Amino acid sequence: MTPSQIIKILVGVVVFLVVAIYLLAKLATSGFNVDAEVMTKEAVAARLKPVGQSVASDAPPGMRSGEQVYTAVCISCHGTGLAGSPKFGDAAAWGARISKGFDTLVTHALGGFNAMPAKGGATDLTDDEIKRAVAYMGNAAGGKFTEPAVGGAAAGAKIDPEVNGKKIYESLCVSCHGAGVAGAPKFGDKAAWAARTKAGMEEVQKIATKGLNAMPPKGGFTGSDEEFRSAIDYMVNHSK
């Protein structure tokens, strides 16, 4: 090597080092500068939410209305039209979907449809809850669906303690009345129920609707008074 070749190589190495140090410094000061706003707990939770979330709602499992399901789950995409989902209340976006018919929409909501995950990703929702949410969203965009009533009764259908009452009891009231938790009159306990019903069924319903000590108002049930009454009738009829 000639001295001039050595000098060229040395200059090359120095230039390389300067550039490398400059780039490293830049990376360290700005490249990894995390925006505090973006990484707050709430912001991270909100971004993680649509996947596999469970439903946060006061209503007990199986008893959520269409609106409650929508607000807890579906809104995360349908609220803004995320990922090509038909936006809530957008009649144009929903028109063609509504004309597929309620049953098809329910099938798609239950099993998933393209970017729409099965049950909106909330696998703890019951089929009836999905139906209610589909009816709720469809109707908000001009559909004329009947939202299945909480407790399983279609609107206008006769409410039967042995059908609707039983269903409500088994999915809700049983958690306390099944074993007599916290002083609840136990299912099948004739003496306990006879003491309660002495004043008449209207009075019992009134008390249970308002709540009493450890008995929450309506036992936590969110459906109609008629359905709630059918659950009381179911318990009382099987306790005499």
**Encoded tokens for 17:** 């080092």
Q: Distance (Å, rounded) from C-alpha 92 to C-alpha 103?
A: 20
Which of 12, 31, 142, 183 is the binder for ligand HEC (CB under 6 A)?
A: 183
Alpha carbons within 13 angstroms on the beta-carbon side of residue 222 total 16
Asked if 168 is part of the footprint of ligand HEC (rule: CB under 6 A), the reply reads yes
Judged by beta carbon, residue 12 or residue 111, the one nearer ligand HEC is 111
Asked if 215 is part of the footprint of ligand HEC (rule: CB under 6 A), the reply reads yes
Asked if 217 is part of the footprint of ligand HEC (rule: CB under 6 A), the reply reads no
Asked if 150 is part of the footprint of ligand HEC (rule: CB under 6 A), the reply reads no
Asked if 121 is part of the footprint of ligand HEC (rule: CB under 6 A), the reply reads yes
Asked if 12 is part of the footprint of ligand HEC (rule: CB under 6 A), the reply reads no
Which of 31, 214, 217, 226 is the binder for ligand HEC (CB under 6 A)?
A: 214
Contacts of 40 (CB under 8 A, 6+ apart): none
Which of 173, 187, 222, 239 is the binder for ligand HEC (CB under 6 A)?
A: 173
Asked if 232 is part of the footprint of ligand HEC (rule: CB under 6 A), the reply reads yes
Judged by beta carbon, residue 149 or residue 172, the one nearer ligand HEC is 172
CB of 223 to ligand HEC, least distance (A): 9
Which of 12, 31, 84, 111 is the binder for ligand HEC (CB under 6 A)?
A: 84
Footprint on residues 97-116 left by ligand HEC (CB under 6 A): 97, 100, 104-105, 108-109, 113-116
- Interface contacts to ligand HEC, rule CB under 6 A: 50, 69, 73-74, 76-78, 82-86, 97, 100, 104-105, 108-109, 113-117, 119-122, 130, 133-134, 168, 172-173, 175-177, 181-185, 196, 204, 207-208, 212-216, 219-221, 228, 231-232
